[in-house]
């Protein structure tokens, strides 16, 4: 799986013109770093809370996050969603490492082993989520079942293709499927960020407790469809200098997105992820 092209380090052969090129590159790196740190905090929360309370024999506390995640009389679908939690946490932690070009080039054996764990985790997250949908259905009903069902099926497809293309030695295609898979896995994290942004901007217009609002309906697909479009553009992108005004404008947008992610992560961590993380590990009530 060790191809020489880097995904996150991919830059133009010649540095883009002077200060505006540097501003764009550094703002892109800042955005990537903020997203990775935020995703890692979300993953740590998932592993500590959902894993911690289950190990402590109190898996029914999953329902403090969303009603009916744990159902003692439906062991199969409960086990499926539990496996999906653990696999999802692993995906968010491992994804960034797989994208670092220098790791792939210098330690290809590590890239291959982490790649196998990543692909198995993606399969488990997708199949576990699908098992839960088939067994019990989502809180939001048929539309949410459809949106999340397609999400799960796409994740399994991309994981299988990324693995198969690597085994076949087709590294360009492997890279393309791996980028698609990564775009899907960050969707679960982006879902929370996008809701956070919406509540901040509108106070939650179009949302309802059973996910029956019009904004909820859009979000059932919006957390992965745009990411896939960006991934397709990225796979086909040819880098070139677009001039100072466009570069500074793009850098400003990236910096604004970074600032928002830092704010949203701090807010989620202070209000929800942090206290639940501690509660999952120490068994303390919230």
Pair 56, 103: CB distance under 8 Å: no
Toward ligand HEM, which CB reaches closer, 27 or 268? 268
35 binds ligand HEM per the rule CB under 6 A: no
Closest approach of Cβ 243 to ligand HEM, in Å? Answer: 37
CB 280 within 8 A of CB 52: yes
Q: How far apart are CA 283 and CA 286, in angstroms?
A: 9
CA-CA-CA-CA torsion sign (4, 6, 12, 18): negative
The minimum distance between CB 78 and ligand HEM, in angstroms, equals 11
Stretch that binds ligand HEM, among 3-11, 125-133, 170-178, 195-203 (CB under 6 A): 125-133
Residue 188 touches ligand HEM, criterion: CB under 6 A: yes
Q: Among 5, 19, 56, 66, which residue sits at the site for ligand HEM (rule: CB under 6 A)?
A: 66
Nearest one of 184, 52, 76 to 125, comparing CA atoms: 184
Q: Residues with Cβ < 8 Å from 73, sequence gap 6 or more?
A: none
> Which one, 21 or 187, has the nearer CB to ligand HEM?
187
- Residues 222 to 261 in contact with ligand HEM, rule: CB under 6 A: none
- Under a CB-based contact definition with an 8 Å cutoff, are residues 240 and 12 in contact? yes
Between 21 and 129, name the residue whose CB sits nearer to ligand HEM: 129
Pairwise CA distance, residues 40 & 194, whole Å: 17
Q: Are 130 and 149 in contact (CB under 8 A)?
A: yes
Q: Which is nearer to ligand HEM, 17 or 275 (CB)?
A: 275
- Secondary structure class of 13 (helix, strand, coil): coil
One residue of 23, 24, 130, 254 binding ligand HEM per CB under 6 A: 130
Residues that bind ligand HEM (CB under 6 A): 46, 65-66, 69, 84-85, 88, 91-92, 125-126, 129-130, 132-133, 138-139, 148, 151-152, 155, 185, 188
């Amino acid at each position: 799986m060790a191809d020489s092209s880097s995904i996150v380090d991919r830059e133009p052969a010649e540095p883009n013109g002077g200060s505006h090129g540097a501003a764009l590159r550094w703002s892109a790196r800042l955005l990537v770093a903020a997203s990775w740190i935020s995703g890692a905090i979300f993953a740590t929360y998932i592993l500590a809370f959902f894993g911690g309370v289950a190990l402590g024999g109190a898996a029914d506390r999953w329902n403090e996050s969303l009603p009916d995640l744990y159902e003692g009389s439906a062991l199969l679908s409960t086990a499926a969603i539990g496996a999906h939690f653990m696999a999802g946490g692993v995906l968010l932690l491992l994804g960034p490492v797989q994208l670092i070009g220098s790791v792939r080039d210098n330690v290809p054996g590590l890239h291959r082993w982490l790649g196998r764990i990543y692909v198995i985790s993606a399969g488990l997250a997708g199949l576990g989520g699908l098992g839960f949908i088939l067994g019990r259905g989502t809180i939001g009903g048929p539309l949410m079942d459809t949106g999340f069902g397609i999400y799960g099926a796409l994740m399994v497809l991309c994981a299988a293709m990324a693995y198969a293309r690597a085994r076949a030695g087709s590294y360009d295609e492997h890279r393309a499927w791996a980028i698609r898979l990564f775009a899907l896995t960050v969707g679960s994290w982006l879902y929370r960020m996008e809701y956070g942004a919406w509540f901040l901007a509108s106070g939650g217009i179009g949302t309802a407790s059973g996910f029956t609002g019009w904004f909820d309906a859009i979000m059932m697909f919006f957390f992965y469809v745009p990411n896939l479009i960006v991934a397709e553009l990225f796979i086909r992108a040819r880098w070139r200098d677009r001039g100072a005004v466009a570069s500074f404008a793009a850098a400003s947008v990236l910096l604004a997105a970074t600032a928002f992610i830092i704010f949203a992560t701090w807010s989620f961590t202070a209000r929800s992820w942090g206290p639940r993380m501690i509660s999952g590990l120490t068994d303390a009530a919230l």
